[in-house]
């Protein structure tokens, strides 16, 4: 199965409600879609969101990297020579992790189709179901409480509460939400780098002292401040999870060796795709460290790849934050994965199982 072309498109889907974090506010998913064509007629799909505040990637940088640095090298390569293709993508440029992830996901989609098996079986097997949390955007306290109650009533058992805007209000936000949903859902906080190390320790200890049990706190301090991550991790009982601080395997090894986090959030858009994500899961397995599988603002194209990976590594990837498609007003992707509120069911069709993408605008 030879790669004959790599085409790009744009997929736009409005969100149900604005997505607000300490880093940004977004109203719609607007992602670059990769379609890899082959001489057998099979197509592989991938997706890259422009999360400039986290990955540095924009629409322009994603499109340019794929068109000029990756596409010319991949055309003519055989899908069954997966490791050659992975090395070629990885060596095509430094960084550009979202562009690399989108292409790699499409290649894995084809590789699994070549063997006529769903991707998770190629990655190691497992049960094709997952349960995800849902994000509660940082907002006025009353709005966050109302959103949390609705999410719990829809059956979500884990809520990812965005904080990191103002330490005093953040503490009140979490207390109010905990009071409203206590015993009905686990609370994960994500500060998206919004606190200083001292603020983070103060906030988490204040919540712990108030008897509030948090499942974890994600990325309390600036991404590059590993000493700050360690400072917080050492001083609180609540597990601290690294997100923006850990992109690839090397950074994760550093985080582990420094003991700067208790959990790692693996996202394909940070790792540059599935191969590095598997390496990170294996590294964490060696150190008995748990992982979360996370996503950016993505539809079911790339979220389905993350879901396949998660079920294949379910012994290490024990936490799931794959709510991108749930935040969208509609699902433009047919096949792949089915969402029933918190429950995700992976298709048993070959590859990612994508059969149709509505509203995909191909780029010239």
**Which residue ranges make up the site for ligand LOXFGALJ (CB under 6 A)?**
21, 23-24, 51, 135, 160, 190, 192, 243, 294-297, 321, 323-324
Whether the CB-CB separation of 97 and 57 falls below 8 Å is answered with yes
39: annotated binding-site residue? no
Both structure tokens of 153: 């009533």
Nearest to 317 by CA among 268, 364, 359: 268
Question: H or E element: which one contains 190?
Answer: strand 186-190
**Cα 268 from chain centroid?**
6
Q: Applying CB under 5 A, does 243 fall inside the site for Mg ion?
A: yes
Stretch near Mg ion under the rule CB under 5 A, chosen from 63-71, 127-135, 235-243, 309-317: 235-243
Tell me, residue by residue from 179 to 198, as one string, x for binding to Mg ion by CB under 5 A and - for no binding: -----------x--------
**162 belongs to the catalytic site:** yes
218 annotated as a binding-site residue: yes
Stretch binding Mg ion (CB under 5 A), from 105-113, 202-210, 241-249, 301-309:
241-249
321 binds, options Mg ion, ligand LOXFGALJ, none, Cβ within 5 to 8 A by partner type:
ligand LOXFGALJ
348 has binding-site annotation: no
182 annotated as ligand-binding: no
- Angstrom distance (rounded) from CA 291 to CA 271: 14
Which H helix or E strand runs over 343?
Answer: strand 343-346
Query: If binding is defined by CB under 5 A, does position 321 make contact with Mg ion?
Result: no
Expressed in percent and rounded to 5, the helix, strand and coil fractions of the chain are 40, 25, 35
Catalytic residue chosen out of the listed positions 100, 267, 313, 319: 267
The residues, ordered by sequence, that sit 6+ positions from 218 with a Cβ below 8 Å of its Cβ are: 160, 188, 189, 190, 191, 192, 240, 241, 242, 243, 265
170 binds Mg ion (CB under 5 A): no
213 labelled catalytic: no
From the candidates 121, 162, 270, 319, which is the catalytic residue?
162
Contacted entry of ligand LOXFGALJ, Mg ion, none for residue 270, CB cut-off 5 to 8 Å set by kind:
none
Minimum Å gap between C-beta 102 and ligand LOXFGALJ is 15
Chain residue at closest Cβ approach to ligand LOXFGALJ: 296
User: Distance from CA of residue 265 to its chain's centroid?
Assistant: 8
Contacts of 207 (CB under 8 A, 6+ apart): 171, 174, 175, 214, 238
Active site residues: 162, 267
- Residues near Mg ion (CB under 5 A): 190, 218, 243
- Binding-site members for Mg(2+) are 190, 218, 243
């Amino acid at each position: 199965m030879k790669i004959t072309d790599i085409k790009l498109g744009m997929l736009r889907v409005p969100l149900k409600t604005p997505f607000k974090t300490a880093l940004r506010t977004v109203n719609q998913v607007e992602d670059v879609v990769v379609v890899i064509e082959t001489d057998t007629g099979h197509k592989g799909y991938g997706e890259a969101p422009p999360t400039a505040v986290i990955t540095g990637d924009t629409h322009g940088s994603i499109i340019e990297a794929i068109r000029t640095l990756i596409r010319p090298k991949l055309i003519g390569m055989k899908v069954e020579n997966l490791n050659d293709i992975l090395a070629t993508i990885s060596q095509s440029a430094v960084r550009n992790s979202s562009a690399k992830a989108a292409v790699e996901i499409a290649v894995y989609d084809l590789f699994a189709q070549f063997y006529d098996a769903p991707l998770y079986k190629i990655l190691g097997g497992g049960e094709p179901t997952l349960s995800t949390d849902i994000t509660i955007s940082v907002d006025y306290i009353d709005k966050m409480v109302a959103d949390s109650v609705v999410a719990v009533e829809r059956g979500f058992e884990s809520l990812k509460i965005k904080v990191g805007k103002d330490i005093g209000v953040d503490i009140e936000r979490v207390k109010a939400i905990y009071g409203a949903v206590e015993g009905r859902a686990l609370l994960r906080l994500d500060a998206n780098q919004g606190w200083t190390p001292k603020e983070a320790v103060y906030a988490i200890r204040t919540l712990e002292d108030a008897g509030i049990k948090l499942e974890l706190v994600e990325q309390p301090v600036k991404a590059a401040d590993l000493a700050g991550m360690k400072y917080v991790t050492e001083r609180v009982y609540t597990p601290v999870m690294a997100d923006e601080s850990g992109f690839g395997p090397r950074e994760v090894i550093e985080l582990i060796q420094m003991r700067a986090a208790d959990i790692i959030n693996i996202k394909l858009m940070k790792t540059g795709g599935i191969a590095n994500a598997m390496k990170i899961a294996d590294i964490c397995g060696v150190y008995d460290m748990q992982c979360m599988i996370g996503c950016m603002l993505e539809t079911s194209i790339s979220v389905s790849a993350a879901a396949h990976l998660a079920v294949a590594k379910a012994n290490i990837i024990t936490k799931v934050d794959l709510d991108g498609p749930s935040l969208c007003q509609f699902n433009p992707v047919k096949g792949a994965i089915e969402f029933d509120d918190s429950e995700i069911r992976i298709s048993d069709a070959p590859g990612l199982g994508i059969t149709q993408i509505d509203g995909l605008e191909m780029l010239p």
